[in-house]
Chains A and B, each alone.
Chain A
């Protein structure tokens, strides 16, 4: 059996105001055209009531290469993909790679930043960012 190349999980919180830009960034660091629709629903909130879209996914090493480099238009990018918006989102990313002496815990979600947490447990990452799901009405 082969081993997966998807050895990392990244869980991101995107403030409502950055969702559009984050979708352009998702295309630049992602794998397919559908990544343009990664952040569609701000259904989590922080303690102050700020809303966020949350995404968790497994990634390969390429994710870190793309996200840390000058962005380029990918083959599958839609015609209306914007380098400027993707770059704007990239400039707002705070990616926590794991505990260090300086930062032992993941950062809290921030209404002015896209926070990414590298770790195997999506729910633990969401909780560590101080986010909870916004209750949904059920019938």
Chain B
């Protein structure tokens, strides 16, 4: 049996080793998060994202050990052993202690019991063992102390048997803690609670609270996706965007595929249930429609003059190939997907190491892979790792941009999408001159055709800001691609360690050889 440790790879390239001395930052390793079930569909950590195509509302930062490293118990009298002391009554509910439990029954309006909990970590793990006494009881997790502001976690408590309700609450910006509210509901009935536990979950976890903005859990085969179609086991009519280069269409079956739009070559007619037929053609750039009649199976459309090994594509987020390992990432749709963390305090350092394993799918616009603060260009002590170049005529690039007190940038050019890369950026605001302040490595080597700003970044340390992933401030510069791994470390990193992580962690995770 394969152990989890083996699946996760060499422990020397465990991202946690980069943070052993308390360095600020985060490590998002989607494969680890998937295998350990540290990735959820919702920002509250209730429903695990378990399959390709599931949306992702929360993924844990593993730099501090994730759920393996919970802090001490923070709740006062969470066991209700002899009373309900420590809990505050609110509203029109009748609260009481009963045989090691707290009960809260609706009386004349909504109400119940709450406790404000101060935490030094941004996120806490909450477990409430509760059952319904009828009506519509709820458990609320509120991201600040002192009030009942939304948005917050709301859990419907149902059933007359005890259930452990587990969720995560990330405190709001500037808040010192969270509020847990055991709500009897707003109709006859109430809630009975056997225990409440709240423990710190160290780290800077990435989340998004609007369901439409969630990236999607994706898997791609080692070596990358070649098959441009979807639903390929049994193909239906579909359109794909193609470049003006040689393509090969192939399939098995007795059906026919007729091309229109970017090419009118063919049609390609199947010759039998076990026969593979193929057609090589060069379309114009644009939308190619493939109209299917009859049975068309194991279909593949790829660039080049010959059919290669079959890649099964379900949805865009689920591509597999026999004999190739799965690489797990987050698919950002290039429209409105993004994640963010609570504020990360980098104010003790002027050095930064940024590592990403990513596949970029488009070069038509500037795209934020990760940015510290709402905009690096207007916040001292921040940075932006960008896909897509700085200028409209030159978008096939990766760019690291930083600001001490002035904006500077350095870009590596001519990485034409679709392409998968290990991207590593180094920033040292203590240096002078952009070429000394910024460094950019692509696939384990100094980036090709580097150009840089003539402006110095100025001085100072980095700031205490939220980190935005996949979109600037959650509102602009959307990333169109897959992010497999993202490590942000508020420190310089030795060359040997960088090379080790590039080759043995990031490249492996995103399926490239370096």
Residue of B239, B241, B316, B366 touching A138 (CB-CB under 8 A) = B366
A-B contact count (CB 8 A): 119
- Is there an interface contact between A6 and B54, defined as CB atoms closer than 8 Å? yes
7 contacts between A and B (CB under 8 A): A1-B50, A4-B51, A26-B212, A32-B42, A56-B333, A75-B156, A123-B362
- Is there an interface contact between B154 and A123, defined as CB atoms closer than 8 Å? no
**Contacts of A61 on B, CB cut-off 8 Å?**
none
Q: Does B150 contact A (CB under 8 A)?
A: yes
What's the minimum C-beta distance from B287 to chain A, rounded to whole angstroms? 7
What's the minimum C-beta distance from A73 to chain B, rounded to whole angstroms? 13
Query: Which of A35-43, A64-72, A89-97, A107-115 lies at the binding interface?
Result: A35-43
- Is there an interface contact between B333 and A138, defined as CB atoms closer than 8 Å? no
Closest to B474 in A: A40
Task: Name the prevailing secondary structure of the B interface residues.
Answer: loop
Residue of B211, B240, B316 touching A57 (CB-CB under 8 A) = B211
A47 CA to B377 CA, complexed, in Å: 30
**Contacts of B334 on A, CB cut-off 8 Å?**
122-123
Contact code string B206-224 (vs A, CB < 8 Å = 1, else 0): 0011111110100000000
- Is there an interface contact between A32 and B390, defined as CB atoms closer than 8 Å? no
Interface size on B, residues (CB 8 A): 47
- Is there an interface contact between A6 and B333, defined as CB atoms closer than 8 Å? no
- Is there an interface contact between B51 and A3, defined as CB atoms closer than 8 Å? yes
A31 CA to B46 CA, complexed, in Å: 13
What's the minimum C-beta distance from A54 to chain B, rounded to whole angstroms? 5
Q: Does A99 contact B (CB under 8 A)?
A: yes
Residue of B43, B156, B216, B287 touching A58 (CB-CB under 8 A) = B216
What's the minimum C-beta distance from A83 to chain B, rounded to whole angstroms? 18
Query: Which of B352-360, B475-483, B506-514 lies at the binding interface?
Result: B475-483
Closest to B50 in A: A2
**Contacts of B333 on A, CB cut-off 8 Å?**
9, 56-57, 122-123
Q: Does B365 contact A (CB under 8 A)?
A: yes
A34 CA to B335 CA, complexed, in Å: 17
Q: Which residue of B52, B315, B366 has the most chain A CB atoms within 10 A of its CB atom?
A: B315
- Is there an interface contact between B316 and A58, defined as CB atoms closer than 8 Å? no
Residues of chain A in range 107-135 having any CB-CB distance to chain B below 8 Å: 120-124, 126, 133, 135
A33 CA to B154 CA, complexed, in Å: 9
A122 CA to B213 CA, complexed, in Å: 13
Residue of A1, A3, A32, A55 touching B335 (CB-CB under 8 A) = A55
- Is there an interface contact between B239 and A4, defined as CB atoms closer than 8 Å? no
Closest to A63 in B: B211
Residue of B151, B212, B335 touching A33 (CB-CB under 8 A) = B151
- Is there an interface contact between A34 and B210, defined as CB atoms closer than 8 Å? yes
- Is there an interface contact between A30 and B211, defined as CB atoms closer than 8 Å? yes
What's the minimum C-beta distance from A66 to chain B, rounded to whole angstroms? 12
A40 CA to B335 CA, complexed, in Å: 13
**Contacts of A56 on B, CB cut-off 8 Å?**
212, 333, 335-337
- Is there an interface contact between B475 and A31, defined as CB atoms closer than 8 Å? no
A33 CA to B142 CA, complexed, in Å: 12
- Is there an interface contact between B51 and A31, defined as CB atoms closer than 8 Å? no
Q: Which residue of B55, B208, B240, B480 has the most chain A CB atoms within 10 A of its CB atom?
A: B55
**Contacts of A139 on B, CB cut-off 8 Å?**
377, 401, 407
Give chain A's interface residues, CB within 8 Å of chain B.
1-4, 6-7, 9, 11, 26, 30-38, 40-41, 43, 54-58, 75-76, 78-79, 99, 120-124, 126, 133, 135-136, 138-139
Q: Does B441 contact A (CB under 8 A)?
A: no
What's the minimum C-beta distance from A76 to chain B, rounded to whole angstroms? 6
- Is there an interface contact between A123 and B53, defined as CB atoms closer than 8 Å? no
Q: Which residue of A32, A75, A79, A99 has the most chain B CB atoms within 10 A of its CB atom?
A: A32
What's the minimum C-beta distance from A70 to chain B, rounded to whole angstroms? 21
What's the minimum C-beta distance from B473 to chain A, rounded to whole angstroms? 10
Q: Which residue of B42, B209, B377 has the most chain A CB atoms within 10 A of its CB atom?
A: B209
Closest to B136 in A: A75
Residue of B53, B210, B337, B365 touching A32 (CB-CB under 8 A) = B210
**Contacts of A36 on B, CB cut-off 8 Å?**
210
Contact code string B303-336 (vs A, CB < 8 Å = 1, else 0): 0000000000001100000000000000001111
Closest to B212 in A: A57
Closest to B409 in A: A139
**Contacts of A135 on B, CB cut-off 8 Å?**
392
What's the minimum C-beta distance from B199 to chain A, rounded to whole angstroms? 24
Residue of A2, A32, A57, A123 touching B51 (CB-CB under 8 A) = A2
- Is there an interface contact between B52 and A31, defined as CB atoms closer than 8 Å? no
- Is there an interface contact between B211 and A126, defined as CB atoms closer than 8 Å? no
A58 CA to B52 CA, complexed, in Å: 11
**Contacts of A58 on B, CB cut-off 8 Å?**
53, 55, 214, 216
Answer whether A136 and B154 are a contact pair too, CB < 8 Å, given A2-B50, A4-B52, A34-B209.
no
- Is there an interface contact between B476 and A120, defined as CB atoms closer than 8 Å? no
Q: Does B252 contact A (CB under 8 A)?
A: no
Q: Which residue of A30, A31, A136, A138 has the most chain B CB atoms within 10 A of its CB atom?
A: A138
- Is there an interface contact between A31 and B42, defined as CB atoms closer than 8 Å? yes
Q: Does B497 contact A (CB under 8 A)?
A: no
- Is there an interface contact between B212 and A38, defined as CB atoms closer than 8 Å? yes
**Contacts of B240 on A, CB cut-off 8 Å?**
121
Closest to A121 in B: B316
A40 CA to B55 CA, complexed, in Å: 20
A124 CA to B334 CA, complexed, in Å: 11
A135 CA to B235 CA, complexed, in Å: 37
What's the minimum C-beta distance from B416 to chain A, rounded to whole angstroms? 16
- Is there an interface contact between B43 and A136, defined as CB atoms closer than 8 Å? no
- Is there an interface contact between B154 and A31, defined as CB atoms closer than 8 Å? no
Contact code string B244-288 (vs A, CB < 8 Å = 1, else 0): 000000000000000000000000000000000000000000010
Closest 6 interchain pairs by CB?
A: A34-B209, A4-B53, A139-B377, A57-B212, A122-B333, A33-B151
